Amino acid sequence: MKTRARKVVLKRVAVVVNPASGGAGPGAAAEAERILVEQGVKGIVTVPGDAGVYACLEAALKTRPDLLVIVAGDGTARAGAEMAGPHGPLVAPLPGGTMNMLPGALYGARDWQTAMAEILADGVIRPVSGGMIEGHAFYVAAILGSPALWAEAREAAREGDLRRAWARTQRALRRAFSGRLRFSLDGAPRAKAEALALMCPLVSRAVDDDEGCLEAAAIDPAGALEIFRLGFRAALGDWRADETVEVTHVRKGRAWASGRIPAVLDGEPTQLGPVVDFRFRPVAFRALVPREPEDVA
């Protein structure tokens, strides 16, 4: 989807930095303040206090900024975009985490400092569509079913807790094929598979925003080795590269299982209820992104 390449006027910018996230670092707040000064933009940089990062986001939004800049992990980026919504301020979820799924889709290989300087100097608005599932927004991809459990093992390994990582790996293996996911897409007859993947137009190679739908794939590996491989591909956000994936389009649907459904939303593992409804959202929030050569002022 192309950006709206009109000049953006920024009178007030709020920047939320989480120095503890994987890609920010202890000096990130000072760097953000320096970039604001260099670009001649008024803004306030805050870091999470004892109340946590979500309270920090809420406080930043209460200042009614024209732009909310987030330098943090995937969960914080997704939360900030969800809090702003389609009618709130522009959002810039910059790559301050480890996986950076949403930031990577919006800013490519740029580091957060480069992306921040570019959008403050000459950013353009990009409406971002997405999906909603059981009250949770996602803008890149959602994985439902047992392969999502590998993301929990990945998170434990990333945090250096190898004992917990091994325990979650064993749990993922036990859950594989123990209870298949059932689902219905756009009112079609019920189907079942080991997992269901939903990809948003932001990164999908099969759908565009103007089609008004998500890319969906029922994933049904033949054995434990395939689910092991696919689980880690899902954790890395490139499940569609797997040869077991067959793609269709969906605007809304329902999934259910015998127990709580493990899921990965934009790279963040979570647990959903045993019955979940999901749908496409045409405009979930508005991002500020760098101007590309094809954008016409």
DSSP string, 169-218: HHHHHHHTTTS-EEEEETTPPPEEESEEEEE-TTT-SS--GGG--EEEEE
Supply the pLDDT for residue 161: 52
Supply the pLDDT for residue 245: 57
* pLDDT tens digits, 44-57: 999 998 889 999 99
CB 180 within 8 A of CB 192: yes
* Token reading at 44: 């306030």
Pick the more confident residue, 21 or 221: 21
Paired with 137 in beta bridges are 132
Supply the pLDDT for residue 241: 55
User: What is the Cα–Cα distance from 229 to 74, expressed in whole angstroms?
Assistant: 23
CB 186 within 8 A of CB 254: no
pLDDT at 262 over 80: yes
Supply the pLDDT for residue 232: 46
CA 12 to mean position of chain CA atoms: 25
User: What is the Cα–Cα distance from 110 to 198, expressed in whole angstroms?
Assistant: 26
User: What is the Cα–Cα distance from 194 to 176, expressed in whole angstroms?
Assistant: 8
Supply the pLDDT for residue 292: 80
Supply the pLDDT for residue 287: 97
Q: List, in sequence order, every beta strand (DSSP E) within the chain.
A: 13-17, 43-46, 67-72, 90-95, 123-133, 136-138, 141-145, 181-185, 191-193, 195-199, 214-219, 246-250, 252-256, 261-265, 268-272, 275-290
User: What is the Cα–Cα distance from 108 to 239, expressed in whole angstroms?
Assistant: 19
Set out the domains of the chain in order of their start, with CATH numbers: 13-130+285-290 (3.40.50.10330), 141-265 (2.60.200)
Supply the pLDDT for residue 214: 94
